Amino acid sequence: MLRTGRWITAIALVLLAGVYVRALLYTPVEASQGLAQKIFYLHVPAAIWAETAMILVGLASVVYLFTKDPRLDRFAASSAEVGTVFCAIVLTSGPIWGKPIWGTWWTWDARLTLTLFLFLIYVAYLLLRSAVMDPATRARFAAVLGICGMCEVPFIHLSVYMFPTLHPMPIILQPGRPKLPGSMLTTWLLSLGVFTLLYVGFVVQRYALSYLHEQLEAVGGEVGHA
Amino acid sequence: MRLPDVLRHSWVLAAKDLRVEFRSRTAILSAVVFVILAFVVFNFGRDPTAVPNVALAPSILWVTFTLAAILALNRAFHLELENHALDGLLLAPIDRSSIYLGKLIANLVFVATFELIGVPLLMLFFNVRLLPYLAPLVLLIALATIGFVAVGTLFSAMTVRTRFAELLLPVLLLPFMILPLSWGVQATVRLLAGRPLSEIAGWLNMLAVYDIVFVALALLLFPATVSE
Amino acid sequence: MVNPGQTLAVFGPNGSGKTTLLKVLAGLIQPQRGRAYVEGGRRAIGWIGHQPQLYGQLTVNENLRFWGLLYDAQPGPDLLARLGLEEHANRQVRTLSRGLVQRVAIARALVHDPRVLLLDEPFTGLDRIAAEALSRLLGQHAAAGRATVLVTHNVEEGTELATDVAFMRNGRFVHCAPRSGRGAQQVGEEYRHAIA
């Protein structure tokens, strides 16, 4: 299973490189933003999956509390770790784009701030996990926090529309016809697909690792913190 | 379990907590001193010639209440673990949700005490006119407080049984507190600027929805934090 | 099956699942297999364990009244007298000595006059007076036609009170029979043989 995860990740990374070759060489340069716009193919899919990962953590947690199936807990933990990484991608790629376009690395812009929120919830989730020793208690506590995190997401979204913002409004899934030129849309959709694959690859690897970790703990082996 | 029973048991539990809390006057006295100190820190943490009082007042108010709530929540479940009284509560023929509701009520009363002291002191120390806006301000504070105390009570039931409990609670809770806090601050700013009430109705609605969602969620999730 | 008036003493080494058995009986945890049924449910159960389950900052009376309210019961007038606690009724529990706290804990478990008593190592750490008071109360409890389940790893402690004796090892009963006149020494020998 670990090997499967590695393969998926490797393929996804190769494809990501491919997407960027396409983005840089074969996709038109956006008129007002120039080259900086290229980061959008990384930024937006990562943001979408950072948030989706939180929703998946929450859903897995709900089912966990009913079934007490340790596989769901392991999945939730894996999804949370991958979500944290994706949040980090969003939080680093955002400022890199913001510097040339907005003229500042960081603004307390609503969308950026709220990704920061998501990141903080993930960090809290992972910290809570590391602070509880007993596996069953850890799983229950983490599930409670995961469900609260999932329910926080819609409030974060509502809040976005109440703040004045500099952030570009979503332009892809707008009601009515998309305003994105065709080739940009294709590149973006490819990128979204690649990120989906990346998410799956990372989660499968992480899941397999924590499974092995638990097996090792069960036989009483000494393991470092994973 | 019938609803009247749940409410009655919640009240018995909350009354017990409050009796313990207010028995030693230390608790209430520390609350007063804490609020005063927080205000003093704020006063020296700004340049009075650059930042006018009325601009800073909403931040002072909300940040102080946030910190006070974390302090109050941190000790909420200590009482129950001391002699394993929580085990006794779980054995008793009461619904798990009444244990949560009881704690929630006690915590709300305790945080409300901080706030009751804080609002007049803010008027006194920073010379802000709050009286004309008192009714909407109280509503605003009440709605925001219910929201974060509801989440905080749920989380403190978990953190109290972990290592580094005092540090972990704020780390878990603050991401959930910032939203109601930011709504509260923005509504307060508009309130103090004398804007019409209709302008803050949006935030009041958001806070009310937040309260309903998270109180309901906490009631459902609380049993998972205490049962084996 | 423990009937009214019976006292079952369960002996087992540490980790044999004694406390888990009691928790299952009390409805605190769901058994993985099988079923446990206590007539009257949680309301009928009184629990005495290692921990007093009292609030240190409240007085003895306040504690008993609080726990009574949760069971919709009033502490009986002679409850404190039977445990020799009358003069301490209005003292805060945290100011009491260990032995007194243990007696209050016993009073707490009896406040709602439970039909079934679950005892987890009840004699551990009790002083002589508390232990005697507990033995006497357990005798009265059984005589009033109530059931008792007592778990301990110390055969000497529970045998005299028991009408039935069981041994546990690795979460299973390896022996369960009426005591029928066996003394502590005889039960002790059988116990060591059974769990060896």
Q: Maximum distance among all alpha carbons in chain A?
A: 61
Q: Taking CB atoms and an 8 Å limit, are A151 and B182 in contact across chains?
A: no
Q: How far is CA A60 from CA A71, A103, A142, B143, in A?
A: 9, 41, 11, 31
Contact residues for C89 (Cβ-Cβ < 8 A; gap 6+): C59, C60, C61, C80
The secondary structure of residue B94, as a DSSP letter, is: S
If pLDDT is split at 50, 70 and 90, which confidence band does A162 have?
low
Tokens of A202: 């990372």
- Residue A175's pLDDT is 46
Amino acid at B191: L
Q: Count of A–B CB contacts within 8 Å? A: 71
Edge to edge, the sheet with strand C45-48 lists: C45-48, C116-120, C147-152, C7-11, C164-169, C172-178
* Beta partners for residue C10, in sequence order: C151, C166
- Residue C162's pLDDT is 85
If pLDDT is split at 50, 70 and 90, which confidence band does A32 have?
low
List of domains in chain C: 7-195 (3.40.50.300)
| Cα–Cα dist B126/B148, whole Å | 26
Which has the minimum average pLDDT: A179-183, C19-23, C117-121?
A179-183
* Run of H or E residues at A162: none
Evaluate if residue A173 carries a pLDDT over 60. Answer: no
Report the pLDDT averaged over residues A88-111. 76
Which residue from B159, B210, B224 is facing A143, i.e. has the nearest CB? B224
With b for 16 or more beta-carbon neighbours within 10 A and e for fewer, the B21-32 pattern comes to: beeeeebeeebe
- Residue A130's pLDDT is 93
- Residue C138's pLDDT is 86
- Residue C175's pLDDT is 83
Q: Taking CB atoms and an 8 Å limit, are B210 and A159 in contact across chains?
A: no
Count of helix runs (H) and strand runs (E) in chain C: 7, 6
If pLDDT is split at 50, 70 and 90, which confidence band does A166 have?
low
* Run of H or E residues at C176: strand C172-178
Amino acid at B213: V
Chains touching chain C at 3 or more Cβ pairs under 8 angstroms?
A: B
Contacting residues of A for B151, CB less than 8 Å apart: 148
Q: Taking CB atoms and an 8 Å limit, are B158 and A148 in contact across chains?
A: no
Q: Taking CB atoms and an 8 Å limit, are B24 and C47 in contact across chains?
A: no
- Residue A216's pLDDT is 83
B 160-189 residues with CB < 8 A to A = 161-164, 168, 171-172, 174-176, 178-179, 182-183
| Cα–Cα dist C178/C167, whole Å | 12
Residue-wise pLDDT tens digits, B157-192: 999 988 888 899 999 999 999 889 989 998 999 898
- Residue A46's pLDDT is 87
Residue-wise pLDDT tens digits, C161-177: 888 888 888 888 888 88
Tell me the nearest-neighbour CA distance from C72 into chain B, angstroms: 9
- Residue C174's pLDDT is 84
The residue of A116, A144, A158, A160 whose CB has the most chain B CBs within 10 angstroms, and thus the best one to mutate to test that interface, is A144
Amino acid at A62: V
Name the packing angle between helices A40-67 and A182-218 (round to 10°).
40
- The dihedral built from the CA positions of residue B22, B25, B31 and B36, taken in this order, carries a sign that is positive
If pLDDT is split at 50, 70 and 90, which confidence band does A36 have?
low
Alpha helical stretches, state H, B52-164: 53-74, 78-82, 85-91, 96-126, 134-159
Tell me the nearest-neighbour CA distance from B67 into chain A, angstroms: 18
Report the pLDDT averaged over residues C119-138. 82
Closest CA to B225 of B167, B156, B173, B179: B156
Range of the domain at B128: 3-226
| Cα–Cα dist C187/A206, whole Å | 54
Evaluate if residue A222 carries a pLDDT over 60. Answer: no
Report the pLDDT averaged over residues A191-218. 86
Evaluate if residue B15 carries a pLDDT over 90. Answer: yes
Which has the minimum average pLDDT: A149-158, A170-179, C101-110?
A170-179
Identify the closest residue of chain A to B151 by CA–CA distance.
Answer: A148
If pLDDT is split at 50, 70 and 90, which confidence band does A35 have?
low
If pLDDT is split at 50, 70 and 90, which confidence band does C159 have?
confident
Tokens of B178: 């910032």
Evaluate if residue C134 carries a pLDDT over 80. Answer: yes
If pLDDT is split at 50, 70 and 90, which confidence band does C31 have?
confident
| Cα–Cα dist B161/B76, whole Å | 12
Which residue from B9, B12, B91 is facing C26, i.e. has the nearest CB? B91
- Residue A110's pLDDT is 67
Tell me the nearest-neighbour CA distance from B209 into chain A, angstroms: 9
Evaluate if residue A25 carries a pLDDT over 90. Answer: no
Average pLDDT, chain C: 86
Chains touching chain B at 3 or more Cβ pairs under 8 angstroms?
A: A, C
Identify the closest residue of chain C to B78 by CA–CA distance.
Answer: C55
B141 contacts B46 by C-beta, under 8 angstroms: no
Q: Taking CB atoms and an 8 Å limit, are A120 and B174 in contact across chains?
A: yes
If pLDDT is split at 50, 70 and 90, which confidence band does A7 have?
confident
- The dihedral built from the CA positions of residue A173, A174, A176 and A177, taken in this order, carries a sign that is negative
Question: How many independent structural domains does chain B possess?
Answer: 1
Higher pLDDT, C122 or B117: B117
B80 contacts B86 by C-beta, under 8 angstroms: yes
Q: Taking CB atoms and an 8 Å limit, are B83 and C45 in contact across chains?
A: no
| Cα–Cα dist B11/B6, whole Å | 9
Higher pLDDT, B228 or C120: C120
Q: How far is CA A147 from CA A51, A58, B6, C62, C158, in A?
A: 13, 4, 24, 38, 47
Instruction: Indicate the pairing of strand C147-152 with strand C164-169.
Output: unpaired
Q: Can you tell me which residue has the tokens 């102080």? A: B64
| Cα–Cα dist C85/C89, whole Å | 6
Report the pLDDT averaged over residues C77-102. 88
Residue-wise pLDDT tens digits, A124-151: 999 999 999 888 999 999 999 999 999 9
Which residue from A124, A147, A148 is facing B171, i.e. has the nearest CB? A124
Contact residues for C103 (Cβ-Cβ < 8 A; gap 6+): C83, C84, C85, C129, C130, C133
Average pLDDT, chain B: 90
| Cα–Cα dist A114/A51, whole Å | 11
Report the pLDDT averaged over residues C94-112. 89
Tell me the nearest-neighbour CA distance from C152 into chain B, angstroms: 19
Identify the closest residue of chain B to A137 by CA–CA distance.
Answer: B228
B 70-89 residues with CB < 8 A to C = 79, 82-85, 87-89
Evaluate if residue B28 carries a pLDDT over 60. Answer: yes
Asked if B201 is an interface residue toward chain A (Cβ–Cβ < 8 A), one would say no
Which residue from A132, A147, A159 is facing B221, i.e. has the nearest CB? A147
Evaluate if residue C179 carries a pLDDT over 90. Answer: no
Asked if A132 is an interface residue toward chain B (Cβ–Cβ < 8 A), one would say yes
CA atoms within 13 A on the CB side of B154: 29
Average pLDDT, chain A: 81
Contact residues for A3 (Cβ-Cβ < 8 A; gap 6+): none
Evaluate if residue A39 carries a pLDDT over 80. Answer: no
Contacting residues of A for B174, CB less than 8 Å apart: 120
Which residue from A127, A140, A152 is facing B225, i.e. has the nearest CB? A140
Evaluate if residue C106 carries a pLDDT over 70. Answer: yes
Contacting residues of B for C56, CB less than 8 Å apart: 82-83
Domain ranges in chain A? 2-28+37-163+182-218
Tokens of B211: 């309260």
Which residue from C28, C51, C55 is facing B16, i.e. has the nearest CB? C55
Evaluate if residue B212 carries a pLDDT over 90. Answer: yes
Q: Taking CB atoms and an 8 Å limit, are C70 and B9 in contact across chains?
A: yes
- Residue B1's pLDDT is 66
- Residue C163's pLDDT is 86
Report the pLDDT averaged over residues B70-80. 87
Q: Taking CB atoms and an 8 Å limit, are B171 and A123 in contact across chains?
A: yes
B144 contacts B108 by C-beta, under 8 angstroms: no
Evaluate if residue A226 carries a pLDDT over 50. Answer: no
